[in-house]
Structure 1
Amino acid sequence: GGQFNAFTSKEYTCYYAKVLDEHFPMALHLLSEMFFHSLLDEQELAKEKQVILEEIRMYEDTPDELVHELLAKAAFGAHPLGASVSGTKEALAAMQRDDLLEFMRQAYTPENTVIAIAGRIPPDVLQLVEEAFSQFSTSHEPFSTQRAPFCRQTILQPKETEQIHLCLGYPGLAIHDERIHTVSILNNIIGGSMSSRLFQRIREDHGLAYSIFSYHTAHLQEGLFAVYTGTSPEHGELVMAMIREIVEEICDEGITEEELKIAREQIKGNLVLSLESTNSRMSRLGRNELLLRRHWTVDEVLEKLNRITREDVLAVARDIFQDPPALAAVGGEASLAKLQHSFSRTMSDGGKRF
């Protein structure tokens, strides 16, 4: 009657369980067994590799997913942040059981592990956790990490599709950056909500796209601010020009007080409402401790959001959009050629933001 699963991001893996509170000791024990005593049976590993291979193929057949993978590569190149979480078919085929065991030996250490618990917590929780996770081996040399230089590449993937799917990516902010909440407001105003400029102008006013949005991903040492849309091949150049127009307007003129108020309240509302979910609470606790090495309370975050001004948002926008973006696109060869020509022409004409 419970849930056990795991997921992987660019910088961490999460193993989690969700059960009724009376089953907490059992869930903790099972997670501990998975963490320390996974057999990694050769036959099971072969089946799981096949499952991941199908996942890779699924993404390759889904252009609105594939284009984001291509953007990461266009932005970060050969750095691990530029790689797909699923990996490549070649790397998957070459992977052996010993490779996984060695990775676990290096990565699954006390200093790399956070245990986050949310819900009705038993009074003896610390004793239970200590008993379940007392089997850590001696710590090893931490992984060496290097900043990912922003590559600003253009990657075009020909594929026969009804739409052309494109992503523009700019250098974002690292998770430790004190302006991280400011960029959340900027993202909300540009394309992170249905009231955003991208959504209102490109979808609502002109009907040029069904899906149009922006997002900001913060990593340990760098970040990525991205804009995505899917549109008819004949509209690709026009939509890209409209994205540029919106970016330039914000960098030149800033945002309005009304936009700031709406964005701030949306972000605050989403944060507070997320507290109703134990899953969300658990994820927030774990991610903050693992990546930030501290816990920001909700009140602290709300206070930071309330202090952000229009001038703060303008300064972050001018910082992020000061240079041309990386470009990734998936679509027919003819539409990709037109898009690349338009993008290159704008760049050669001295377009800073593209």
Structure 2
Amino acid sequence: MYKLHALANGVRIVSEYIPYVRSVSLGIWVGNGSRREDKKNNGISHFIEHMLFKGTTNRSAKDIAESIDCIGGQLNAFTGKESTCFYTKTLDTHIDIAIDVLSDMFFNSKISQSDIDVERKVIMEEINMYEDSPEELVHDILSETIWSADPLGYPILGTGESLQQINRDEISKYMENNYTPSNTVIAIAGNFDYDKVIDLLSKKFENWKNINNIGSNYKETNFNSDIVVKHKDTEQAHLCVGFEGIQQGNDSIYELLVVNTIFGGGMSSRLFQKIREEKGLAYSVYSYPSSYQNAGLFAIYAGMNPSQISEVVKLIFAEVDCLNKNKITKEELDKAKEQLKGNYILGLESTSSRMNSIGKSELLLKQIKTPDQILKRINDITIESVSDIIQKVFDNKNISISAVGTIPDDIVFEKFIR
């Protein structure tokens, strides 16, 4: 049972009480990520995430870490393209400590120039580490290729050049514009006293003034079809193929999840069975959908020996053609629906997963579906509705490819698309 409590200043508190667990997960969600940035300040959302752990007027960085460590809890944060989340997971007896620490970080962080200079080096190392991980880099290059004219394609970490532009004034101005009550959701899931938690959160957040009221909508984006190859001296070649997917909030995402399950979402999927199990051409091969406001992506990844690229790409597009021509069988549909339901229900056993689900849903969609509603929606999927989404997504007019590694010069990716 979800409850929504809105403070007078616009902060929304969404909660789910789970009496049979001993943990509670709490997250402060801000509708802000790399998609709010421009070329000059790219990476500032992620930079701010780091800075809130560097110390407040009440606690040093070490004090922040020890406050949660000493009660056996977890404290962390993450930045995405459209949201940032600061969260804790603790025993139910320590929810007051979690609220105190998170709110202190959120409102009282010092964000000193000296800490900014230190953290800039840390994030540069994070970028360098990412550059040394081609199996991750290839996904970012795919996003940059598809949304080259939109901030949605910007790297979340930023670039070496943009990081040099970030200073205390830029951070303060950016937070003033984007860290606002109306753009913030507090999510809590687990075993807790509802009235006590609402009272504690109200005292911490109710005096926060809504200076700016940024819009939640993003401009329309165009899917850019292109091929980008980044040559690196690696043992493996890494490949991503991207199709235009389903935007956030579109109910057809459930059909696409079924397609993904059948096509490349697990060890029993068509891609895995054909390319890895039957042919032995790749250790890792999978697909996944990503949904954003006004935009979506369906991506296929494979990592292989450079000499196998042509064969793997040919097999990927052969499976895409098969999906387009033959669609799926009733048996595949039934199995995929059961797999989706099983994965979803198992995820409900984690207070962290539930907090993430209700926080993100309220922040980005302003609605939360109950487990029964979601399970019913999965059950209602039909062969016809899946066929419609296959026809819509797997369109050969909207394809982009990214490749990273020792890519042979004679590979012509265009011929596979045709």
Asked whether the two chains share a fold, i.e. TM above 0.5, the reply is yes
Equivalent of 2:351 in 278, 288, 295: 278
Is 1:344 aligned to residue 417 of structure 2?
A: no
Partners of 1:197 and 1:76 lie apart in 2 by: 28
Equivalent of 1:180 in 240, 253, 259: 253
Partners of 1:189 and 1:314 lie apart in 2 by: 13
The answer for the alignment partner of 2:297 in structure 1 is 224
- With over 3 angstroms needed to count, the CA separation of the structure-2 counterparts of 1:135 and 1:47, relative to structure 1, is farther
Partners of 1:270 and 1:312 lie apart in 2 by: 21
Contact 1:172/1:217, CA 8 A, preserved across alignment: yes
Question: What root-mean-square deviation, in Å, do the aligned CA atoms of Structure 1 and Structure 2 show?
Answer: 1.3
1:290-301 to 2 correspondences below 5 Å: 290-301=363-374
Contact 1:250/1:314, CA 8 A, preserved across alignment: no
Equivalent of 1:126 in 185, 198, 201: 198
The alpha carbon displacement at 1:267 in A equals 1.0
Is 1:18 aligned to residue 86 of structure 2?
A: no
* Structure number with higher strand proportion: 2
Give CA-to-partner distance per residue, 1:265-319, whole Å, 9 cap, x none: 1111111011111110100010110111001111100000001011211110110
Three-state SS of the structure 1 residue aligned to 2:185 is coil
Partners of 2:403 and 2:176 lie apart in 1 by: 39
The answer for the alignment partner of 1:146 in structure 2 is 219
The alpha carbon displacement at 1:58 in A equals 0.6
The alpha carbon displacement at 1:29 in A equals 1.5
Contact 2:74/2:89, CA 8 A, preserved across alignment: yes
Partners of 1:338 and 1:303 lie apart in 2 by: 50
The alpha carbon displacement at 1:62 in A equals 0.7
* Structure number with higher helix proportion: 1
The alpha carbon displacement at 1:331 in A equals 1.6
Return 133-142 or 20-29, whichever deviates more.
133-142
The answer for the alignment partner of 1:28 in structure 2 is 99
Contact 1:4/1:17, CA 8 A, preserved across alignment: yes
The answer for the alignment partner of 1:51 in structure 2 is 122
The answer for the alignment partner of 1:42 in structure 2 is 113
The alpha carbon displacement at 1:134 in A equals 1.7
The alpha carbon displacement at 1:139 in A equals 3.6
The answer for the alignment partner of 1:198 in structure 2 is 271
Three-state SS of the structure 2 residue aligned to 1:151 is coil
Partners of 1:263 and 1:101 lie apart in 2 by: 47
The answer for the alignment partner of 2:180 in structure 1 is 109
Contact 2:337/2:379, CA 8 A, preserved across alignment: yes
Equivalent of 1:329 in 389, 403, 406: 403
- With over 3 angstroms needed to count, the CA separation of the structure-2 counterparts of 1:3 and 1:173, relative to structure 1, is same
Contact 2:230/2:403, CA 8 A, preserved across alignment: yes
Give the TM-score taking structure 2 as reference length: 0.80
User: Quick one: which amino acid aligns to residue 402 of structure 2?
Assistant: A
Contact 2:317/2:416, CA 8 A, preserved across alignment: no
Structure 1: gaps (5+ residues)? none
Give CA-to-partner distance per residue, 1:225-281, whole Å, 9 cap, x none: 000001111110111111101111111111011111111111111110111111101
1:245-260 to 2 correspondences below 5 Å: 245-260=318-333
The answer for the alignment partner of 2:135 in structure 1 is 64
Contact 1:211/1:229, CA 8 A, preserved across alignment: yes
Partners of 1:116 and 1:296 lie apart in 2 by: 15
Partners of 1:346 and 1:65 lie apart in 2 by: 23
The share of aligned pairs that are identical, in percent, is 41
Partners of 1:303 and 1:162 lie apart in 2 by: 46
Partners of 2:272 and 2:368 lie apart in 1 by: 33
Give CA-to-partner distance per residue, 1:109-133, whole Å, 9 cap, x none: 1111110001111132211111111
The alpha carbon displacement at 1:17 in A equals 1.1
Structure 2: gaps (5+ residues)? 1-70
Partners of 2:271 and 2:214 lie apart in 1 by: 42
Deviating beyond 6 angstroms after TM superposition, the runs of 4 or more aligned structure 1 residues are none
Partners of 1:257 and 1:219 lie apart in 2 by: 30
Partners of 1:111 and 1:10 lie apart in 2 by: 18
Is 1:237 aligned to residue 310 of structure 2?
A: yes
Partners of 1:113 and 1:195 lie apart in 2 by: 40
The answer for the alignment partner of 1:162 in structure 2 is 235
Give CA-to-partner distance per residue, 1:146-192, whole Å, 9 cap, x none: 12211112111000111111100011101111201111111111101
User: Quick one: which amino acid aligns to residue 338 of structure 1?
Assistant: D
Three-state SS of the structure 2 residue aligned to 1:203 is helix
